Structure 1
C-alpha cells in the first residue's frame, strides 16, 4: 500500500476528474500515490456535497497568529534564560494576547526550541585565554618523554549546601556550547571545600 499522505485541492480535483472520465478508483490512487481508501472517501464526499474541499475538523483553533508565534520565538532567542511565564507576559504587553505558559512551550517546541540546563565553563579573562594559547603553541611538539617529567595538578570545589541550579535556557539541538546557552561560573567561591590532587605519567600523588 502506498504511504499515506495529504494531497492538495488541485490533486483532489484531478482525482474526481479522472474518476468521472472512467478511470478506476484503484488506478486513480496509484497515479496520486495514495491509499485506495483516500480516493473512496473523496468520491463519497464529492457525491454527497459536490465539493472536493476537506470538511472543517472539530477542535479548538490556535489562539496565536503566525506573527505572534514568530514573536514568541524571537523573545526566546533574544533572552535564552527567559522562562515561559516571562515570555507569556512580554507577549501580552506587546500584542494584548493572553495565552498559557504551556502554549508558549508548545509554540517554542514547534520551532525546535527546548528548555535545557545550560552547559557551563570557567570564566576566563582575555589574559587567561592568551596564556592558554601561548602554552599550547610552546608545547605542541613535545614528545611523551618530555611530558613524563611534568606534574599535573588540579583542584575541585564541593559545596556543602545543596544548590538546585534552576537556571534554564532555550536551545535547539546542536546549540549546547554556543555562547548564548553557556553559563560562566567563578572557579573559586566561598562556602565550599577544596580538594587537591596531582599526577604524572605512570604515577599518582595522593
Structure 2
C-alpha cells in the first residue's frame, strides 16, 4: 500500500517537471508499476525510470509496453486450468518441513479439512517445488545428552591435532561377516511375473546361515593383521590377540614406537587387566567417549569395503564354477 503520497520535484539532466506523484514506500511490484506509469506520462526515459526506482531497465521497458498495449499493469489472465489449491493450503503443505515424518496421506487429510480435496501426486509436486523430497531416513546411533556432551568434549580436545598425529593412529575393530547371503539391496533385470525365478532371487536360510567375527586393524599406511576369533570373546582372548598381532602389525606398517592405538569402549577392552597390559607395554590408547563413536566412520567404511569385496569374490567364484566341466563318470563296462 502507498502510505503517503505527496508532490515532489524530479530533476533530470535535461528538464525539470513538477506535479509528479511519487510514493515514499514502494513495497509491492504494483506500486512500482503505478510510479512508472506516472513517470512515463511525464516524459521520462527508461534509464531515468530505472535509476529513480532502483529497478532494472528491462523491467521498466516491459511494464511500459504492457501499459501501452493493455492500459493496465495488473497480471493478465493466463491460459490453462487454475490451481486447485489456495495459498493457505500451499502453506499447510510446505509446513511438512517442520514435521519430516508426516506422510502424503496425512497431508491429504489435512488439506481436506480446510476444504481442498487434492490427489497425492499434487501434494508431492508442491513439496518438490519447495525443495522437499521423500528419502529413506538414515539410521544413527541413539545418543543421550551425556553422550553428546562427551562427544563434543572429545572433539574440542582434538581440535589442535595435526594430520601427522592421526597418521600414527592404528585403528582396530571386530566386525562380523555373514557367511551366507548379504544385507545389501540387490537389483536384477527381469520380466513380468518372473520375480520368483531362481536367477532373480537371493537365497536365505534360517538364523542367517552363520557368521564369523574377526579382529583387524589398519592405519594410513595400510592394513595390519586380521585374526579369526573362535568362540565367545572375553578379556583373556582379547589380550592374547593383542599380544600376538598388535605390535607386529605396527611394525609391518612401519609406525613409530609411540603409535596410538584406537579401540571402542567394549567392556572387555576396558577391563582392568587389559588396561594394565597397555600400561606395561607403554602403548598409548585413544580414549573414545562412547561405545560406538560416530566420528570414527572411517572404520565402518573400511570394513564395509571388505564385506563388499568378499561378496564379489563369492560371485566370481560361482561364475568360474559354471564354466568348469563336470567330471566324466568312469566307464563301468
The answer on whether the counterparts of 1:156 and 1:196 sit within 8 Å (CA) in structure 2 is yes
Q: Secondary structure at the match of 1:55?
A: coil
Among candidates 58, 61, 74, match of residue 79 of structure 2: 58
Among candidates 34, 43, 57, match of residue 35 of structure 1: 57
CA distance in 1 between counterparts of 2:64 and 2:171 reads 81
**Against the structure 1 CA distance between its residues 204 and 115, is the aligned structure 2 distance closer, same or farther, given a 3 Å change threshold?**
same
Confirm or deny that 1:46 pairs with 2:46: no
Q: Please give the TM-score of this superposition, normalised by the length of structure 1.
A: 0.55
Question: What does residue 23 of structure 1 align with?
Answer: 44
Confirm or deny that 1:199 pairs with 2:217: yes
Coordinate RMSD, CA, aligned: 4.2
C-alpha distance after superposition, 1:14-51 (max 9, x if no partner): 21211211213443345443335x54553444345433
Among candidates 106, 128, 132, match of residue 87 of structure 1: 106
**Against the structure 1 CA distance between its residues 156 and 116, is the aligned structure 2 distance closer, same or farther, given a 3 Å change threshold?**
farther
Q: For structure 1, which segment, 56-65 or 88-97, has the greater mean C-alpha deviation from structure 2 after superposition? A: 88-97
CA distance in 2 between counterparts of 1:93 and 1:194 reads 54
Question: What does residue 122 of structure 2 align with?
Answer: 103
C-alpha distance after superposition, 1:126-146 (max 9, x if no partner): 6x959x959x97xx79xx8xx
Q: Please give the TM-score of this superposition, normalised by the length of structure 2.
A: 0.37
**Against the structure 1 CA distance between its residues 63 and 196, is the aligned structure 2 distance closer, same or farther, given a 3 Å change threshold?**
farther
CA distance in 2 between counterparts of 1:200 and 1:64 reads 58
Q: Secondary structure at the match of 2:216?
A: strand
Query: What is the count of residue pairs matched by the alignment?
Result: 162
CA distance in 2 between counterparts of 1:66 and 1:197 reads 59
Unmatched tracts of structure 1, length 5 or more: 1-6, 165-189
Shift of 1:75: 5.1
| Greater C-alpha Rg | 2
**Relative contact order higher in (CA < 8 Å, ≥ 6 apart):** 1
CA distance in 1 between counterparts of 2:79 and 2:147 reads 59
